Amino acid sequence: MTTKFVIYRRISGGTNQIKSGLGLEAQMTEINCYLQGVDDYQIVEEYTEIASGKDHQNRPILQSAIEKSIQTNSIVLVSRICRLSRDLEFTASLMKSNKVKFRIATMPTADNFIISIYAAMVQKDREMISIRTKLALRESKKRGTKLGIKGKENIKQANLKKIQQADEFAEKVKKVVLPMREEGKTYLQIANILCNVNFLTPRGCKFTPSSVQRYCVR
């Protein structure tokens, strides 16, 4: 049976990137590598968009690709998850669709559900990098570095930000695990799924049935 694909590529719009085409070429290379593992396929249409990954309200080309995939019963194929969006909420909304399937060339075995989990994990990593950067100020103070008023304020803000990001992460986890609970999966099954995709807690630990339960009732 022939598998039909709608290919979507996106670049952010930097002048050098547009002129060189390297971003688009690199994406197509990854897509072609994925297609080499497909026995029988057809490329229905190719779409290229110049837009920020953070702008999910103005993506007409992506919408056209999705509509084409629905019309032709095709799979939307992108090179990497960030080519769809860098916004977790938007990516999650796409993955919840029952009408369209997505595949990521660099994640060949991932379906819509796994992609949504991975998107949450990627965003968590970006947030943790920000937290670690700010907490480095605290370590500097412990070593005797004079931070001044601005430095002290940064530490205070880092602490507040850490609390805020922990709450935000909890909400994102709930959006991932609650649909699984509604499908009848146990806390153990959910924990195993999260562990299989290396989705860890904010402290870098594996999810357990009890920790999954805490996020569900939080």
Same domain, 64 and 105: yes
Cα 101 to the chain's mean position, in Å?
Answer: 16
Instruction: Give the CATH number, domain containing residue 51.
Output: 3.40.50.1390
Which of residues 110, 132, 164 is at a domain's end? 110
Q: SS3 of 192, please?
A: helix
Quick check: is 61 in a domain? yes
Under 8 Å CB-to-CB from 28, ≥6 apart: which residues? 9, 79
Q: Where are the alpha helices (DSSP H) in 45-145?
A: 60-72, 81-84, 88-95, 112-142
* Same structural domain, 9 and 99: yes
Do residue 29 and residue 61 come from a single domain?
A: yes
Tell whether 8 and 95 lie within a shared domain.
Answer: yes
Mean pLDDT across 116-139: 68
Q: Would residue 115 count as lying in a domain? A: no
Residue 34, sorted as left (phi over 0), alpha (psi -120 to 50) or beta, turns out to be alpha
Q: Amino acid identity of 145?
A: T
**Using CB atoms within 10 A of its CB, is residue 143 exposed (0-12), middle (13-18) or buried (19+)?**
exposed
Q: Are residues 58 and 132 in the same domain?
A: no
70-109 per-position pLDDT tens digit:
999 999 999 988 888 877 778 888 888 778 999 999 888 8
The number of helix segments (H) and strand segments (E) in the chain equals 9, 4
Is 9 in the same domain as 101?
A: yes
Task: Report the amino acid identity of residue 97.
Answer: S
Kindly state whether residue 117 falls inside one of the protein's structural domains. Answer: no
Answer yes or no: do 106 and 14 share one domain. yes
Structure tokens at 128: 């943790």
pLDDT for res 20: 47
Residue 79 lies in a domain: yes
Phi and psi torsions of 4, nearest 5°: -100, 140
Does the pLDDT at position 162 exceed 70? Answer: no
Residue 133 covered by a domain:
yes
Q: Cβ(32)–Cβ(5) under 8 Å?
A: no
Q: Which domain holds residue 94?
A: 3-110
Same domain, 7 and 67: yes
How many other CB atoms are found less than 10 A from the CB of residue 166? 12
pLDDT at 116 over 70: yes
Tell which residue, 104, 90, 125, has the closest CA to residue 27.
104
The arithmetic mean of pLDDT across residues 126-141, rounded, is: 65
AA letter at 151: G
For 37-72, what is each residue's pLDDT tens digit? 999 999 999 999 998 877 777 899 999 999 999 999
